[in-house]
């Protein structure tokens, strides 16, 4: 079962109000939403673009005051408008990939087990990665791998992928991982698998994870009532950088007060129990406009 990260810290920094209305913009399996309700919230509106995750959340949160919506978090304003909700007391977004996605080989997120090369969080929209890899040009691919994966061997990796697809279509995570490891791997032991950065980059690319993130943060703040708060949990440096700089711009404009001067990170006990939590970074702001 997926373990939500920084739960106690998130609830404390959201300052959940009794009877308040909250948005969990990436509800996933419902762990954070459940904790928000346990803290006294009167209603949670939960968004997720993964239909499978929503099914789990619906079962977990049955008979609780939750409105679950199949939607991208960047559609928060439309979702609230459709429900006649003018302001909310808080917004949460956990930008990480869930264990449900990582552990299911058929989703194509992980290279631990070979599966179809899909990687879409919302399998009802867009093209799977295998389709995009079949036609993308080498230069664009190298740029994607460098920009989103911060992979120093990006050009070698892109060249290797293009050569490999000329011999046979790359349709599984196992095929792709083998190609990337040969191109990016060095000699001897390495702390992380050589395919890790490229897989991260391609996942971000396929799902447009950084596209419109700053706009979502703007919409989330605009959705707040008096002293409402926005809490964002990011897992890689590119996301966290956008969140940090956007929040600073809002603060400089007098729109928000920064609640977390430094990002809140998991403690040793949480990381030991859930190693996937180790890169989580929580940042929170409060509406003052």
Distance (Å, whole) CA 170 – CA 161? 8
Domain extent at residue 221: 7-95+210-287
Q: Classify residue 246: in a domain, yes or no.
A: yes
The 10s digit of each residue's pLDDT in 108-164 is 888 888 999 999 999 999 999 999 999 999 999 999 999 999 999 999 999 999 999
In a domain, 111, yes or no: no
Does one domain contain both 161 and 189? yes
Q: Across residues 90-101, what is the average pLDDT?
A: 88
Res 98: pLDDT: 77
Do 253 and 174 lie in a common domain? no
Q: What is the pLDDT of residue 192?
A: 81
User: Is there a single domain that holds both residue 191 and residue 224?
Assistant: no
Residue 36 pLDDT more than 90?
A: yes
Place of tokens 């808080």: 90
pLDDT band at 188 (very low <50, low <70, confident <90, very high): low
Q: Is residue 244 part of a domain?
A: yes
Residues 201 and 219 in one domain: no
Burial of 167 per CB tally in 10 Å (0-12, 13-18, 19+)? exposed
Domain boundary residue, one of 207, 237, 265? 207
Looking at the fold, whether 134 and 266 belong to one and the same domain comes out as: no
Q: What number of residues does the chain have?
A: 289
Q: 279 and 242 in one domain? A: yes
**Domain presence at residue 73:** yes
| End position of a domain, from candidates 207, 222, 245 | 207
Distance CA 94, CA 212 (A): 15
Residue 170 has pLDDT above 60, yes or no: yes
Domain count within the chain:
2
Structure tokens at 58: 């619906």
Give the residue from 207, 231, 250 where a domain finishes: 207
Yes or no: say if 62 and 34 are a contact pair by the CB < 8 Å rule. Answer: no
Whether 141 and 194 share a structural domain: yes
User: 36 and 79: one domain?
Assistant: yes
Q: According to the model, what pLDDT value does residue 110 have?
A: 87
CATH number for the domain spanning 167: value is: 1.10.150.170
Q: Tell me, what's the pLDDT at 234?
A: 97
The rounded distance, in Å, linking the Cα atoms of 90 and 97 is: 22
**Nearest to residue 240, comparing CAs of 221, 218, 262?**
262
Q: Quote the percentage of the chain above a pLDDT of 70.
A: 98
In terms of domains, do 203 and 214 share one? no
Q: Please indicate, yes or no, if residue 119 is contained in any of the structural domains.
A: no
Residues 221 and 89 in one domain: yes
* Residue 118 within a domain: no
Who wins on pLDDT, 36 or 105? 36
CATH number, domain at 216? Answer: 3.40.50.150
pTM of the model: 0.93
| Residue 101 in domain | no
Residues 31 and 157 in one domain: no
In a domain, 120, yes or no: no
Q: What mean pLDDT is reported for the chain? A: 94
Would you state the pLDDT for residue 119? 96
């Amino acid at each position: 079962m997926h373990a939500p990260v920084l739960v106690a810290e998130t609830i404390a920094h959201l300052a959940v109000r009794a009877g308040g209305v909250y948005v969990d913009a990436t509800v996933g399996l419902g762990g954070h939403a459940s904790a928000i309700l346990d803290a006294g919230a009167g209603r949670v509106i939960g968004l997720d673009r993964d239909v499978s995750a929503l099914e789990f959340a619906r079962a977990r949160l049955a008979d609780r005051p939750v409105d679950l919506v199949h939607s991208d978090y960047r559609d928060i304003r439309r979702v609230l408008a459709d429900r006649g909700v003018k302001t909310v007391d808080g917004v949460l977004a956990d930008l990480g990939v869930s264990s449900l996605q990582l552990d299911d080989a058929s989703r194509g997120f992980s290279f631990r087990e070979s599966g179809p090369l899909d990687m879409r969080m919302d399998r009802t929209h867009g093209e799977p990665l295998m389709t995009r890899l079949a036609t993308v040009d080498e230069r664009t691919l190298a740029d994607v791998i460098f920009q989103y994966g911060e992979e120093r061997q990006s050009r070698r990796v892109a060249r290797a992928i293009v050569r490999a697809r000329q011999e046979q279509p790359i349709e599984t995570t196992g095929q792709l991982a083998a190609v990337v490891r040969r191109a990016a791997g060095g000699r001897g032991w390495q702390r992380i698998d050589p395919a890790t950065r490229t897989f991260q980059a391609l996942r971000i690319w396929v799902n447009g994870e950084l596209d419109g993130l700053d706009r979502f943060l703007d919409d989330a703040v605009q959705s707040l009532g008096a002293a409402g708060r926005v809490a964002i949990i990011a897992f890689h440096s590119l996301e966290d950088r956008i969140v940090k700089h956007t929040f600073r711009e809002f603060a400089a404009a007098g729109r928000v007060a920064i609640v977390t001067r430094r990002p809140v990170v998991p403690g040793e006990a949480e990381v030991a129990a859930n190693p996937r939590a180790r890169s989580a970074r929580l940042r929170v702001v409060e509406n003052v406009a």
